[in-house]
Structure 1
């Protein structure tokens, strides 16, 4: 008899919990999911569930003040940005807005714009995909933006590949003493011009004549008593081979 009573209690408890779960409104479920997402903002699977569930909540959810604050700040950061690196503040602000109100399509759209401006194309596509999940009225234009971002990503990858290939066949880079591996000089590309800079605080360089494969430059040590050295180099693979004050000398490219 006691066993039967215990079984009845267990069944009754299970049924009560199940009924309670089913009785929970979409709005209450959404509130719990948003709280979970705010603890794990990188959980995109949960974020997608929040977006989809929010569409069943009537009347539509209001955007909380903290989300609007982050959104407005993000817009200001984006407007004032001057370089891809400057868009970091805008990205962070729109991410905060999308986490405070993860059903809010505008936050995802502006986040995608900021990420695209920062040349973070994969992340921009992800943000725009989340925007599309909110079922915006301009879904067709947003889809076209996805295609455009994909094209920009391809162009950036191609440009990086071309630059890397050109660098391999150029004297551009940091060069180390061929004997002890000490960094001596660094050749940088500014626009289409190659310039020589010191790779440490012990030398200065002057009188440089540079092509993609040849370098002639005077190295003046900043240590008292040491004499200037005139380098004459030719690029051979990952080495600068030539002379220092007429004597054989070489440098190795820093990996």
Structure 2
């Protein structure tokens, strides 16, 4: 397993140099502008909670590694509450029609958030055993560590002008994430002691590569969103809802 952990470490170092992270830690840009990606992060945050609850967790298992994973998912599946708090603090928890909320979440500009959640669910559902799940979690946690350390830099700058407390993008989330049981020294020792066959090692490498590739693409697309909508209170334009569904389906114009 040491080879896999080493691969994750090297991937993490390269991940930290992505343009997205350079952008959100760039102190020459106003912190609110650096946080413009926040609304587009919504589907990912809520979907990630379900990944923990519905896919990675197996309540009936007695496998010791799966039990560790179950504990991790319980620690990780409520962080969406911090995100909701931050939306309120950022002033973007404004009212809109239910139909408009749906259209925003499923707008083409939010496809990256949806796609990565669908992909993570698909990969996790196909994993053969708890060890593979653990490898996937380790890779995800590596990306999360870079993200949270970078957003904490951003939030410290934002707090200077707002004097508000932010939880998801700030130190609260980072501290909790760093204190998860999966980062405990004993658990790390257990992971390092796992021996993989050559075939298992190749499968593990493929999992790590997949996770990092997906997150690299995701954060590249989030940067595109932030540059398209630099004011995080600006939402994509919605198509008009003034149409006759029956006529639309039949191809007959009104």
Q: TM > 0.5 between the two?
A: no
Short-chain TM bin:
under 0.3
| Bigger radius of gyration | 1
TM-score (normalizing by structure 1): 0.27
Higher RCO, 1 vs 2 (CA within 8 Å, ≥6 residues apart): 2
Structure with the higher helix share, 1 or 2: 2
Larger strand proportion of the pair: 1
TM-score with structure 2 length normalisation?
0.27
